[in-house]
Amino acid sequence: MNQQVCSTSDITGARFTIHPMADDFVSIILGALEETDMSKVWHETDDVSSCVRGRSVHVFDTVKAVFLNASKTGKHVALNATFSNGCPGDVQGDVYLTEDDKPMNEASLSGIYQDVSVHFALYPLGSTTYMETIMDQINDAIEKGIKTKGVHYATRLDGNAHEIFAALESSFNNCLEDDSSHVVMTVTISANTPSKKGMK
């Protein structure tokens, strides 16, 4: 099929890449994937990126786990992810919607402290009032006390990975509730960079 195959509105998906900037990148990537419990998501990896699909809570939990399991090596690691919900298309993975709410990786990740810097952008599709939806979510992050900064084509967040992932998940889910039938969120997350010069 030559098309952007997408999910039903109940399925959230994430297509992501994990980039350890190190000679031993293969073992770091494979190790991070192996340490991550993916039992509650549909998942597939090819030579360009990985894709996970299922209930929103488990998609965010899985992506966060892969990232933290890679970055805890101390190496400079970047994650690029596109989260999506509601694009018209296939229903492959529907079976995972029956999973319960318990994130499978939270217990193993809770002890990891990782500072991160993030650029993210929200794209509510098929809506003429999408800019208002975007602004609502950025204001929501500010109200939660997350450090934010506008940059071209994105919003920057700085903080602890757990806090930042929670804010990203909340922004994405709020967009879905805010009458947007198809929402896309792009995220670039950087950890352990030698050129760290984040917001103070």
Amino acid identity, position 164: I
Q: How far apart are CA 63 and CA 142, in angstroms?
A: 23
Q: Which is nearer to a copy of itself, 2 or 110 (CB)?
A: 2
Q: Which of residues 33-52 bind a copy of itself (CB under 8 A)?
A: 44, 46-49, 51
Q: Which is nearer to a copy of itself, 107 or 131 (CB)?
A: 131
What DSSP character marks residue 6? -
Q: What is the size of the binding site for a copy of itself (CB under 8 A)?
A: 70
CA angle, 48 as apex, 76 and 94 as ends, to 5°? 110
Return the closest-CA partner of residue 180 out of 95, 91, 83, 98.
Answer: 83
Instruction: Give the contact letters, 146-175, x = binds to a copy of itself (CB under 8 A), - = no.
Output: --xxxxxxxxx-------------------
Among 41, 65, 87, 175, binds a copy of itself (CB under 8 A): 87
Q: Which is nearer to a copy of itself, 107 or 142 (CB)?
A: 142
Residue 82 · residue 184 · CB < 8 Å: yes
Q: How far apart are CA 114 and CA 75, in angstroms?
A: 12
What DSSP character marks residue 52? E
Return the closest-CA partner of residue 120 out of 170, 71, 62, 194.
Answer: 170
Among 82, 108, 114, 170, binds a copy of itself (CB under 8 A): 82
Name the token pair of 54.
Answer: 């299922």
Classified as helix, coil or strand, 146 is coil
Among 40, 64, 72, 119, binds a copy of itself (CB under 8 A): 119
Q: How far is the CB of 9 from a copy of itself (least distance, A)?
A: 14
Binding site for a copy of itself (CB under 8 A): 1-7, 13, 15, 17, 19-23, 25-26, 44, 46-49, 51, 53, 76, 78, 80, 82, 84, 87-88, 90, 92, 117-119, 121-128, 130-131, 134-135, 138-139, 142, 148-156, 184, 186, 188, 190, 193-198
